[in-house]
Amino acid sequence: MATATVSEIRTAILTLLKADGTSMGNQSLRQLIADTLQAEVEEADYVAARDALVAEGQVVKGKGRGGSVARAVDADAPLTLSIQEKPVGADAPKPQQATMTLAQAKKAKEAVAAKKGEEDAQVIAYQHEQKRKNNPDVGVVTPDNDPAQPKTAWAYDPHIDPALQFDVRRAQIETLIDDALASGDTDTMRAALEQLKRQAAPYLNWAGKAERTSFEVDTVSLHVHERIDPATILGVIQKRIKQDKGEHGGTADMFRAWFEEPLPHREAVDFYKHDRGWSNRLVAGDSLLVMNSLLQKEGMAGQVQMIYIDPPYGIKYGSNFQPFVNKRDVKDRKDEDLTQEPEMIKAFRDTWELGIHSYLTYLRDRLLLAKELLHESGSVFVQISDENVHFVRNVLDEVFGKDAFFAEIPFKKTSSLGSSGLDSINDYLIWYAKDARKVKFNRIYLEMGEDTYAFPAVEMSSGEWKRLTVKEKKSGVFSGKLFRTSNITSQSGGDNSSFGVELRGEEFKPSANSYWKTGVLGMSKLARAGRLLPVGNTLTYKRYSSDFPVRAINNWWDDTIQSTFAIEKDYVVQTYTKVVERCLLMATDPSDLVLDPTCGSGTTAFVAEKWGRRWITCDTSRVAVTLAKQRLMTASYDYYELKYPHEGLRGGFIYKTVPHVTLKSIANNPEIDEIYERLHPAIEQALVQLNAVLSTAGAPFKVTEGGRKGELLDLAKGDVLQEWEVPFNFPDNWQAAARAPFEAFHAARQAMQKKMDASIAAHADQETLFDQPAVSKDKLRITGPFTVEAVPFPTVLSLDESPAMQEADTTIARSGESHRQHSWRDELLKTGIRGKGGQMLKFAELDTLPDMPNLHCSGHLVETGERVVVSFGPEHGALEQRQVELAMREASELFPRPKMIVFCAFTFDPEAAKDIDATKGITALKVQMNTDLLTEDLKKARSSNQSFWLMGQPDVDVRQRKDGKYEVEVKGFDYFDTASGELKSGGKKNIAAWSLDTDYDDRSLFPRQVFFPMAGAKDGWNKLKKDIKAELDETKLDKLHGTISLPFEPGENRKIAVKIVDDRGIESLKVMALG
């Protein structure tokens, strides 16, 4: 019989309960639902459905034995927009609920089926009840409401200073001892001893460690650029349905979105002061800045349950970064494969400037902030190869403490061979806890299968058993239940556990200095349950493979290899999904927060979304962020049933469980004796009848089991068979008259054993399978809402303020001081600015501007003599909108006022580019700087002698259709071709993705339509599950892989925004008014 789903039970409760508020007992209602649906109703499912309705106010609980429920009849109950039919039998006199007519039952079942049919089209995302702070929408950020903040200082507490010798440190030790003794306080003395022990411990040293015991990190806000809700996007292309009474087609309530309404403007600009509904977060920027912002701006210390870090493994450049979204074949030391992202160039320089030494500093800094973010029960996982695993383990010891170590897990990454030495087939996970005594740990189990070597004996359905042959072990072909015998004695016990046990006509006692594992009553229950088996002179315990059909996972994972045919990587260093899943399932529960500061293709975010966890992930690379955004946006998952729907994800899922039968659980089973007393008389009676028949015409019988084994019984002369001596197969020399009582005996024995086995399973401890939640039959799931955010980059200092060259900045992606601006100015003066078609802007001179922090030089054009001012973007980041605004203010204060302002940058924040394009009253130009200016030492040759190129706006066409709706076409954009070193007008073939906000509010982009023109047949929106695609309009779905939008109505703001992302992850944003 099928099992009813929570959704079916929910609908049945509402259908069967009376509208007048008449109560009904829980047990009666549950049985009635089962009869109505002709399906089993699990108690947990019934409770979940009932409690959800109670939480919603549709049902109320009553009193009575076992509890009761009734329909809520409160006049203030919330209204619904659906038409509700009158409940079956609402106007009839109150009948006995258990005597519902067949017609009523049939109608109720049809109502449930109809409801289920509606819910088959339900595609939803999990909603998290937690809150998050209102970090700034990029469109409302100004230098005034989000000014630069002081840096945050972080300090280490090293065990010992490696620069000090013992004699020099001796004074410190003596002072420590003297102070402790003088205090007379036991706790102070204990702390002093612990400090002395730490100072004597060995430690890892590397270049720069001793000199750098503290560091500073810029305190920045995380700006929200996009609010992505796949439900909103897919809702646009769902199938139209016909409504009743010939009305116009409408849309089913299939896709449910969860983004809240925007905050009022006065609250929206009051950053970090208000709570918003939770949405997950994808952040572009250096992880050190992101984590510091979460700690300092949002107060998230102690709120993260798990952190997964997959840092670069080695020092090969191409092994860690990917320059194109559609090119995963990255070669080391090839100019064309060198990333052109300034953030990534700096990341590589600073991480590997001193080889392993700067790498360890990079990792230690991030681990220090990660520890602050972790909850006291939280865990951090670091994935690493064998090249540096020993160094990373030592760094984790220093940051978290050696007592925080939890596990080191080698996992298999490949089965390929062929290296010159030993093949390296493993990578490693290093697991540390914030506090190993409090760490959250969910044990994961793997199915064992039929292990014929661990369980070398088999018991047939008749009860007969035998040892498996070699052939049966190898082939796995046999009939019956596998079992093995286990020792039933231990080395500890007393006189009350060394008694004799009578079994099958023999007495067994534990050997010298050993004791039974249970007492007299326990041994009696084991015997009655058929779990004791004599082997020679030893009494053993029968352990079946089905007693515990799984095994706990250990710290060696050899089943994690991903076939290249089974899964296509999106990113060159994409993490194995199964590995992250296991970590997440062991260390977190649904609704817990997971952080991945090394996003890559978004595997951790994908896994967290799949399993109902909240997530924050970040990456320095725009390519990685673009890939992760597309992967998450187009993902679909199973919907896991909530254990307590009214509690949401915090209540967890309904998980599959497996019984864990143990000797102890059988010995303490209260039903064993009751079953024996109830069913064993039938066995005894059948045995009496069998012996009676055999006494009249029985042939001699040789005993094969028990105390009389080997004896020849003369059944016709008064010898009788004992229970354990009855053969399993009917002997050929027995007369036919004995067959009936013989079969009755075995039938009674097998019936009792079946009841025993069922009781044993029912009373066994249940182990939860956290990787096997119950999958809904009538719900589908897509990714929930998430924001795309970015670390704002700093304004560059004026040329006369730039400091001298300093040591490498370990904040990786952010450098407020550009050391190359003098050379940039000289290069700009020498080469000028080249536009498309060969046009040139040449400067007569370029001089520094004192007291102008955001305008770095001023000059005049050669041809016209007009005054021009120049603002350079950051050396290792995008030029952002606050610098644009400040530069505009400074330009307005100059006299004579410049005619043109030129913004030169390696990359532009899309909001900054939008503001530059929208500037009025002064000519504002965007100029792309050749990244050869950053990578001359990394490349074999420059791609071009031209260093500055004029960039145009994205080529976007908006047009109104005859029906009054609008549509948008993206035709191209300007992009810098790194191969030729020239600026080109990109066609549609270079657009990786573009999105359309049909009602842009000048705050952040909220795309209603998202397109993937470069997606293949199995990529983009085509990756959705078939069940979800079946609910979509295929024609419209195909258009989401093109460059022309779907028709749309203008929104309240009558303004649209189009964001284009090219194949290098570079974004362009264009805002246009409608009408």
Asked if residue 940 has pLDDT above 60, the reply is no
Measured CA distances, 761 to 479, 658, 661, 887 (Å): 21, 9, 7, 75
Looking at residue 950, its pLDDT comes to: 86
Q: Which residue has the higher pLDDT, 937 or 181?
A: 181
pLDDT tens string 304-321: 999 999 987 654 434 444
Q: What proportion of the chain, given as a percentage, has pLDDT over 70?
A: 79
Q: How many Å apart are CA 598 and CA 584, to the nearest integer?
A: 16
What pLDDT does 202 receive?
A: 62
> Mean of the per-residue pLDDT values for the chain?
81
Q: Whole-prediction pTM value?
A: 0.76
Highest mean pLDDT among 144-153, 164-173, 771-780: 771-780
CA gap 113, 662 in Å, rounded: 42
Of the candidates 974, 984, 917, 983, the residue with the CA atom closest to the CA atom of residue 946? 983
If you average pLDDT over residues 647-658, what whole number do you get? Answer: 93
Helix/strand/coil for 27: helix
Alpha carbon distance 881, 616 (integer Å): 24
What's the rounded Cα separation, in Å, for the pair 117 and 587?
37
CA 114 to chain centre: 34
**Secondary-structure class of domain 6-119 per CATH:** mainly alpha
622 burial (CB, 10 Å; 0-12 / 13-18 / 19+) is buried
Phi-psi category of 355—alpha, beta or left, where left has phi over 0 and alpha has psi -120 to 50?
left
Give the confidence band of 1067 by pLDDT, cuts at 50, 70, 90: confident
> Which percentage of the chain shows pLDDT scores above 90?
44
**Residue range 252-257: average pLDDT?**
48
Q: How far apart are CA 272 and CA 590, in angstroms?
A: 26
Asked whether the CA dihedral 409, 414, 415, 417 is positive or negative, the reply is negative
For the cut 50, the answer to whether the pLDDT of residue 248 exceeds it is no
Q: Is the dihedral of CA 46, 48, 49, 53 positive or negative?
A: positive
pLDDT class of 215 with cuts at 50, 70, 90: confident
CATH number of the structural domain 955-973+988-1018+1028-1073: 2.60.40
Task: Give the gyration radius of the chain's Cα atoms.
Answer: 37
Using DSSP's 3-state secondary structure scheme, residue 929 falls into strand
Query: Residue 815: its pLDDT value, please?
Result: 40
The pLDDT confidence band at residue 409, using thresholds 50, 70 and 90, is very high
Interstrand relation of 280-284 and 712-713 (parallel, antiparallel or unpaired): unpaired
Predicted confidence (pLDDT) at residue 337 exceeds the cutoff of 80: no
Per-residue pLDDT at 241:
47
Q: Is 514 exposed, middle or buried (0-12, 13-18, 19+ CB in 10 A)?
A: middle
User: What is the spatial distance between Cα 506 and Cα 500, in angstroms, rounded to a whole number?
Assistant: 10
The residue-averaged pLDDT of 624-637 equals: 92
Which pLDDT does position 775 carry in this prediction? 94
The tokens for 334 are 């090839």
Nearest CA to 429 out of 413, 417, 418, 451 is that of 413
Check if the beta carbon of residue 121 is closer than 8 Å to that of residue 254: yes
Banded pLDDT at 838 (limits 50, 70, 90): confident
Question: Does residue 849 surpass a pLDDT of 80?
Answer: yes
Residue-wise pLDDT for 665-708, tens only, equals: 999 999 999 999 999 999 999 999 999 998 887 688 999 989 89
| Distance (Å, whole) CA 633 – CA 1061 | 15
Burial class of residue 302 (count of CB atoms within 10 Å of its CB; 0-12, 13-18, 19+): middle
Q: Which of 331-340, 832-841, 936-945 has the lowest mean pLDDT?
A: 331-340
Structure confidence at residue 73 (pLDDT): 63
Torsion of CA 861, 975, 1068, 852, to 10 degrees: -30
Give the residue-averaged pLDDT of 416-422.
66
pLDDT score of 1011? 94
333 against 440, higher pLDDT: 440
Domain ranges, ordered by start, for the chain:
6-119, 670-762, 801-951, 955-973+988-1018+1028-1073
pLDDT at 630: 92
User: What is the pLDDT at residue 380?
Assistant: 98
Q: Does the structure show a pLDDT above 70 at 426? A: yes
Whether 1065 has a pLDDT exceeding 60, the answer reads yes
What residues does 374 pair with on adjacent strands? 304
Q: Is the peptide bond before 323 cis (omega within 30 degrees of 0)?
A: no
Decide if pLDDT at 906 tops 90. no
Per-residue model confidence (pLDDT) at position 94: 38
Over the range 82-91, which residues count as b (16 or more CB within 10 Å of their CB) and which as e?
eeeeebbbee
